[in-house]
Structure 1
Amino acid sequence: MITAANNIKVDDAESTQHYDRRRELKEFDDSKCGVKGLVDAQAEKIPRIFVHPQVNLTPSNCNNERTQLNVPIISFGGISESPEKSRAEFICKLRDACQNWGFFQVLNHGIPVPLMDEMIEGVRRFHEQDVEIKKQYYSRDVSKRFYFNSNFDLYQSPTPTWRDTMYCIVAPDPPKPEDLPAVCRDILLEYSDCVTKFVVILLELLSEALGLNPSYLKDIGCDEGLFLLGHYYPACPEPELTLGTNSHTDSGFLTVLIQDQIEGLQVLHQNQWVDVPPVRGALIVNIADLLQASFLNKL
């Protein structure tokens, strides 16, 4: 084993005879530095715990030729003022995206693009700040209002992914401003307020798309919880051996994402992985398993 800075141990490919996976997981976790710490330590190889089986790196249903399918893009501009026919057409388009994709991108959603950019920068500032300051927020206690770690399922996942994540419970009980990191405090609070307002409008439209009263999803409490995640994917010394995230479905109700202007996100559609190229100023909506089941039952 080669010992790097911050007491993080980097696996040597030749040292496999007495490999102790549990020990390596704990050493990595106890460092409280995340994968960013490995990068800062100038690791030339990734720890063995991050090496994925080849079958995960090249799924059987991966289309090597770029597919021409496109995730739906829906503009919310003027929806509240739209005449009845136009609104009906909009709801039909929204319903189709939910039933057939479970994903869509939203433009003209009311959240200023500079604010979205600053939220991304706030996430970056948090993860790239001095490690000794950042360590105080490292935790696996999900009851905390704000914390960060690398892989929430580090000890349960067959293979961890190359990312660190900050977590913040925004609603129904928001954190006190003084409990948030100074490098992202103001933007986190401002962005959370804006996205909460957007979600209220989105829930009304989704209720209509389900053929229900516009207030239905809000009335049953779907707007009462907001959990913000800020993923960070630092440059990897051996990117061909690992992944930033595994293929998965979200078991919850609704997820709203913003992504940096870098390609990488894909969704599974008709048994093919489809690229979701970044669209400037767009929010990405994933209606997740519970809500998608409601739309599929409408088919």
Structure 2
Amino acid sequence: MPGSLPILDLRRFEAGHPERDDALLELRRVARSVGFFYLAGHGIPQEEIDGIIALSKRFFALPEADKLEIQMVKSPHFRGYNRAGAEFTRGKQDWREQVDFGTDRAPLNVKPGDPAWKRLTGPNQYPSALPDLKPAVEKWLADVTDVGIRVLKAFAAALGQPEDVFEPIYEGGPNQLLKIIHYPGRDHTESDQGVGAHKDSGFVTILLQDTVPGLQVEGEDGWIDAPPVRGTFVVNIGEILELASNGYLRANVHRVVTPPGSTDRLSIAFFLGASLAASVPVLDLPPELAAEVRGLTADPQNPLFREVGRNFLKSRLRSHPDVAQAHHADLLDPEQRTAKLVANAY
């Protein structure tokens, strides 16, 4: 029978904590097995957590016209709202509506010959009907980025590296992606696929769940349920850490099952990535860890690139074919211009 995810306390990873060595050993064990865990002791107040959930529910309760004001297809930077059914994972329709936010910057002046990932830099879209959303999202992005970097430092230490080993590739501007997601109940869907089985492409993902379960993680003996645990986040490894550790750490497959009946589900997923201009280094692991390296996952439908911007752009083009075809058709081959691309749920 599948098991359950462990709960790790972020405070135990801090330098000087008496349980730090045991905590790092446990983190390495979890990262080598299921690759997911609940994170407690993160320091974000429950009041802030409850506030961002309440605002998210208010957004999805807006009239459709107010949500479509910021429809993602209007943004070449892949920011904004998508109706349920607008995304596909491995050719099958996901059933969730969502709104995406990222690092809010002015668009770059992209010149001929520049790398295509430069097109991803740009502003967010916010609904005029809910002005409270922008300051709340900006604060949430700052706070979960801080948590993500603390988790990243713990992973570095668990791999026998200096805590700041990844700093050169995120310093001055990590890639931030925040998805606020609403899953309608099964009575309103065509299948039980909220999001199909996939991996995440960043350093780490920090997921806040409301009260309704649905997340499942692939285990050796089947799917492991990861129901909400109040006051915690679910954290998982992304493909950057798999690349950097040459597969010692493994980005694991997960999915979301549509909630039953007339219920619905809300989650807020934050994906912490490196700077889009960076390339992922290969860490020089201690001999005892290097001996356990498994190599990178080989998936011909989802090749991994060490160039961060190239990897992230691949994910966005696949997950949002309408935006890709509207703004970036020159990056697609003829078949992709009409196909439902193989996505990874970004």
Matched, 1:129 2:62: yes
Matched, 1:80 2:14: yes
The 2-side partners of 1:171 and 1:283 are apart by 24
Match of 2:3 among 69, 74, 77: 69
Match of 1:148 among 58, 81, 89: 81
Matched, 1:246 2:181: no
For residue 177 of structure 2, give the secondary structure of its aligned residue in structure 1: strand
- 1:15 equivalent in structure 2: none
Matched, 1:278 2:228: yes
- Aligned-residue offset at 1:237: 2.1
- 1:212 equivalent in structure 2: 161
For residue 217 of structure 2, give the secondary structure of its aligned residue in structure 1: strand
The 2-side partners of 1:155 and 1:177 are apart by 22
- Aligned-residue offset at 1:145: 7.1
Amino acid at match of 2:162: N
Structure-to-structure mapping, 1:174-213, within 5 angstroms: 175=123, 181-213=130-162
The 2-side partners of 1:188 and 1:237 are apart by 30
Match of 1:291 among 204, 224, 241: 241
**CA shift digits 1:142-200 (9 cap, x unpaired):** 53474111369647853312211100013677847977752522221121111111122
Tell me if structure 2 keeps the 8 A contact 1:103–1:285: yes
The 2-side partners of 1:245 and 1:128 are apart by 21
The 1-side partners of 2:85 and 2:102 are apart by 15
Moved more, 221-230 or 150-159: 150-159
Task: Flag structure 1 segments of 5+ consecutive residues without an equivalent.
Answer: 1-66
After superposition, the CA RMSD in angstroms is: 2.9
Q: Relative to total residues, which structure has the larger strand share, 1 or 2?
A: 2
The alignment's TM-score, normalised by the length of structure 1, stands at 0.68
For residue 241 of structure 1, give the secondary structure of its aligned residue in structure 2: coil
- 1:114 equivalent in structure 2: 47
Tell me if structure 2 keeps the 8 A contact 1:151–1:160: no
Q: Relative to total residues, which structure has the larger helix share, 1 or 2?
A: 1
**CA shift digits 1:207-238 (9 cap, x unpaired):** 10111111011222276111100111123425
- 2:270 equivalent in structure 1: none
The 1-side partners of 2:158 and 2:101 are apart by 30
C-alpha spacing 1:151/1:210, structure 2 compared with 1 (3 Å):
farther
- Aligned-residue offset at 1:263: 1.4
Q: Percent identity?
A: 25
The 1-side partners of 2:8 and 2:145 are apart by 19
Matched, 1:103 2:36: yes
For residue 196 of structure 1, give the secondary structure of its aligned residue in structure 2: helix
C-alpha spacing 1:210/1:183, structure 2 compared with 1 (3 Å):
same
Amino acid at match of 1:233: Y
The 1-side partners of 2:170 and 2:147 are apart by 15
Tell me if structure 2 keeps the 8 A contact 1:125–1:184: no
Alignment length (residue pairs) = 232
- 2:216 equivalent in structure 1: 266
Moved more, 135-144 or 153-162: 153-162
Tell me if structure 1 keeps the 8 A contact 2:100–2:179: yes
C-alpha spacing 1:171/1:72, structure 2 compared with 1 (3 Å):
farther
Matched, 1:224 2:174: yes
The alignment's TM-score, normalised by the length of structure 2, stands at 0.60
Tell me if structure 2 keeps the 8 A contact 1:210–1:295: no
Tell me if structure 1 keeps the 8 A contact 2:94–2:195: yes
Tell me if structure 1 keeps the 8 A contact 2:216–2:223: yes
The 1-side partners of 2:201 and 2:84 are apart by 17
The 2-side partners of 1:176 and 1:150 are apart by 17
- Aligned-residue offset at 1:100: 1.0
The 1-side partners of 2:2 and 2:133 are apart by 38
Moved more, 269-278 or 147-156: 147-156
For residue 285 of structure 1, give the secondary structure of its aligned residue in structure 2: strand
Tell me if structure 1 keeps the 8 A contact 2:153–2:164: yes
For residue 245 of structure 1, give the secondary structure of its aligned residue in structure 2: strand
For residue 72 of structure 2, give the secondary structure of its aligned residue in structure 1: coil
Matched, 1:235 2:185: yes
- Aligned-residue offset at 1:273: 0.2
Tell me if structure 2 keeps the 8 A contact 1:177–1:185: no
